[in-house]
Amino acid sequence: LGGHLSLDYDWSGNTQSYVRLARGFKAGGFNPSLAALGGDPANFSYDPEALWNLELGLKGQLADGRFGYDLAVFGMLRDDAQLSQSSQAVANDPNTFVFTTDNGAARAYGLEAAATWRVAYGLDLHASLGLLDTRIERWEVRPEVEGRDLAHAPSYTANLGFSWAGPSGWAARFDATAIDGF
């Protein structure tokens, strides 16, 4: 079961805020590689995952629409998080290398901000910043990784650039991007 409930408010014609509560999900499944290796049938399957997300945001424009901004803060709780791992059942035997998914618990908190400034007709500057803090809260299969960051979740991302569109149809864009290791 998933869905969302949101409340939006227009402060003026140029500033809006919102709060959103959402629940998403992923179906459960099974680990066919464990079955192929003759593993314990109790470990073949994993449960569905549920994600609860609470987000607060502010969007708007200033200077007659020449400056736009978007700010959001969020928090996510993952119940029965589907966490993946790899292992090798028999040392030095690549035929026994398997990827498995098991359930645990995880959370994430973050902030996203973006701004655009129309410097002149056809020339826009843009910038964005994302900050993210994630943790594996509980994972009975691998308790040694509890407290670590989630995989593929960099703690920051940033972008700075410009776009230009000329009156004759020519256009150009430049972006510089930074991303934390993960």
DSSP 123-144: EEEEEEEEEEEEEEEE-TT-GG
Query: Per-residue confidence at 3, pLDDT binned at 50, 70, 90?
Result: very high
Q: Please provide residue 65's backbone torsions phi and psi, each rounded to the nearest 5 degrees.
A: 85, 5
pLDDT at 40 over 80: no
Quick one: pLDDT at residue 34? 66
pLDDT at 35 over 70: no
**Cα distance from N-terminal residue to C-terminal residue, the chain:** 31
Q: What is the pLDDT of residues 119-170, one digit of tens each?
A: 999 999 999 999 999 999 998 888 898 989 998 999 999 999 999 999 999 9
